[in-house]
Structure 1
Amino acid sequence: MTTLIHDSAHRKRAMSSQAEAVGRELTRYGLVVVVGWIGLMKFTGYEAEGIRPFVANSPLTSWAYGLMSVRGFSAVLGVVEVTIALLIAARPFSPRVSALGSALAVGMFLTTLSFLVTTPGVWEPSLGGFPALSAVPGQFLIKDLALLGISLWTLGEAWRVSDQIR
């Protein structure tokens, strides 16, 4: 009887460790896919126009349209986002490089979360405004809170490992 209980507990621990390991990899490389995919979309007119209200209404980014076109700025963002994704993906080869990518992602998601405050239409007026989020842009932006958390986790994990390698 004791052996059965011990075997069951061991199996449960092994399964939980496997689930955690898969979750860890899916978390990191899911972030890579999301950031990279969205970055590649920045090279399209559709996406350039889609981000226009966020960029134009933000004191952090609105200056960019004075320096370059909507498409040009979107392409620059695309290069930055694809680079961030590649840096994060470098974790097996260089945890330090991956930590840099994650730190840049943290900055990127803090910036996009600031759009919750600066973009018109975030709060749904038919539901009384704050805290009711509109579908777009409100719900579109709030997902970046989870992506910020994932970026912080990947930053901390890669940074810890890079310190151990020295």
Structure 2
Amino acid sequence: MIAWIGAQKFTGYEAAAIQPLIANSPIFSWLYSILSVRTFAAVLGSLEIVAALLIAIRPLWPRISIIGSVMGVLLFLSTLSFLFTTPGVTVPSGLLVLSVVPGQFLLKDLVLISASLWTLGDSLGAALRRRGAHGDGERR
């Protein structure tokens, strides 16, 4: 899922769709002064694809998968921050009601950050078990 979302960042449609999210972010908006909208989206997409590949490699190299999971957590924490910085995330109704776009669009990142945290714990556990299986912690 993360790789699929990352691959879509290479399209003009997706680059334009995330542009208001980035432009309204006090943390990330400065990036548009050095990167075009399409270039920034491609860099973001590349990071998402790398994170997905590193997570997927867990059966072979759980220690490397830890890096992918941490990348996923950081990527989705940053996109969840857009819930607080993007105008139009909520609709005026007196309650916290998310708009379809961008509010509900961003909400998927709660599931993705949860999955990244789960894979992080799973990879850490596998790496520790693998290390413990070697006794002194060295690979043979």
TM-score (norm 1): 0.77
SS in 1 for 2:67: helix
1:39-59 residue CA offsets vs partner (Å, 9 max, x unmatched): 111111101000001110111
**Structure 1 consecutive aligned stretches of length 4 or more whose deviation exceeds 3 Å:** none
What is the CA-CA distance between 1:74 and the residue it aligns to?
0.6
What is the CA-CA distance between 1:154 and the residue it aligns to?
0.6
What is the CA-CA distance between 1:147 and the residue it aligns to?
1.2
- Which one of 94, 106, 110 corresponds to residue 77 of structure 2? 110
- Where does the alignment leave 5 or more consecutive residues of structure 1 unmatched? 1-33
Question: Which position in structure 2 is the counterpart of 1:163?
Answer: 128
Q: Does 2:102 align with 1:137?
A: yes
Question: Which position in structure 2 is the counterpart of 1:76?
Answer: 43
**1:96, 1:85 → 2: CA distance?**
14
What is the CA-CA distance between 1:60 and the residue it aligns to?
1.6
How many residue pairs align between the two structures?
Answer: 131
- Which one of 3, 11, 14 corresponds to residue 47 of structure 1? 14
What is the CA-CA distance between 1:70 and the residue it aligns to?
0.4
Give the aligned CA root-mean-square deviation in angstroms: 0.9
Q: Whose Rg is larger?
A: 1
- Where does the alignment leave 5 or more consecutive residues of structure 2 unmatched? 132-140
- Which one of 108, 115, 135 corresponds to residue 150 of structure 1? 115
Name the % identity.
56
